[in-house]
Amino acid sequence: MNHIDVQKSFWKGTLVISGAALFVKVLSAFYRIPYQNIAGDLGLYVYQQVYPFYAIAFALSLYGFPLILSKILSENDKNQVKNTLTTTFIGLSSFFILVFFLLYSTAPMIAGAMNDPLLVRPLRMSSYSFLFVPVLSVARGYFQGQDDMTPTAISQVFEQFVRVAMILFLTIWLVSHGADRYLVGTAAVFGGLAGSLVSVIVLVLFLRKQKLNMDTTEKVSFRGTLTIMGTVLRGGIAICITAVMLALFQLIDALQVVPGLQASGMDLLDAKVYKGVFDRGQPLLQLGTVIATAMALPLIPFIAKAKQVKDHRQINTFAGLSLKFSFIIGGAAAVGLAVIIVPTNIFLYEDSNGSFALGILGAAVFFGSLAITSSAVLQGLGKIGFPVLFIILAMVLKATLNGFLLPVYGISGAALTTVLSTAFVALSNLLVVQRLTNVFTVQRFYSGKVIVSLLLMALTTFLWKELWFILLPEAYRAAAGFAAVSSALVGAGVYMVALVYLNVWKYEEIVMLPKGKRLVKWFYKERSGEND
Judged on CB neighbours under 10 Å (0-12, 13-18, 19+), 417 is buried
Backbone angles phi, psi at 493, to 5 degrees: -65, -45
CA distance 314 to 4: 10
Does a structural domain hold residue 64?
yes
pLDDT at 103 (0 to 100): 94
Tens digit of pLDDT per residue, the chain (532 long)? 455 555 555 445 444 444 555 666 667 767 888 888 898 899 999 999 999 998 888 888 877 788 777 777 766 666 666 777 777 888 888 889 999 999 999 999 999 999 999 999 999 999 999 999 899 988 888 887 776 777 877 888 888 889 999 999 999 999 999 889 999 999 999 998 999 999 999 998 888 877 655 554 455 556 666 777 777 777 778 877 887 888 899 999 999 999 999 988 889 999 999 999 999 888 888 777 776 666 655 566 666 677 767 767 777 777 777 788 888 888 888 998 899 998 888 888 888 888 899 999 989 999 998 998 888 888 878 788 899 999 999 999 999 999 999 999 999 999 999 999 999 999 999 999 988 888 887 777 778 888 999 999 999 999 988 887 777 765 677 888 888 888 889 998 888 888 878 877 766 666 655 555 666 666 555 444 444 4
pLDDT at 13 (0 to 100): 43
Indicate the SS3 state at residue 214: coil
CA distance 417 to 16: 34
CA distance 365 to 69: 31
Among the residues of 410-506, which ranges form H helices?
411-437, 439-442, 447-471, 477-501
The structural domain count of the chain equals 1
Nearest Cα neighbor of 255 from 495, 48, 61 is 48
pLDDT at 530 (0 to 100): 46
Does a structural domain hold residue 509?
no
Encode 106-139: b = buried (16+ Cβ within 10 Å), e = exposed: ebeebbeebbbeebbbbbbbbbbbbbbbbbbbbb
Does a structural domain hold residue 138?
yes
Does a structural domain hold residue 56?
yes
pLDDT at 526 (0 to 100): 44
Question: 198, 56 in Cβ contact below 8 A?
Answer: no
Question: 507, 517 in Cβ contact below 8 A?
Answer: no
CA distance 246 to 109: 23
CA distance 55 to 405: 26
Residues of the domain holding 66: 31-243
pLDDT at 531 (0 to 100): 46
Does a structural domain hold residue 461?
no
Does a structural domain hold residue 150?
yes
pLDDT at 16 (0 to 100): 47
Nearest Cα neighbor of 185 from 281, 51, 386, 335 is 51
Question: 91, 287 in Cβ contact below 8 A?
Answer: no
> In this structure, how many other beta carbons lie within 10 angstroms of the beta carbon of residue 176?
9
Backbone angles phi, psi at 211, to 5 degrees: 50, 50
pLDDT at 201 (0 to 100): 92
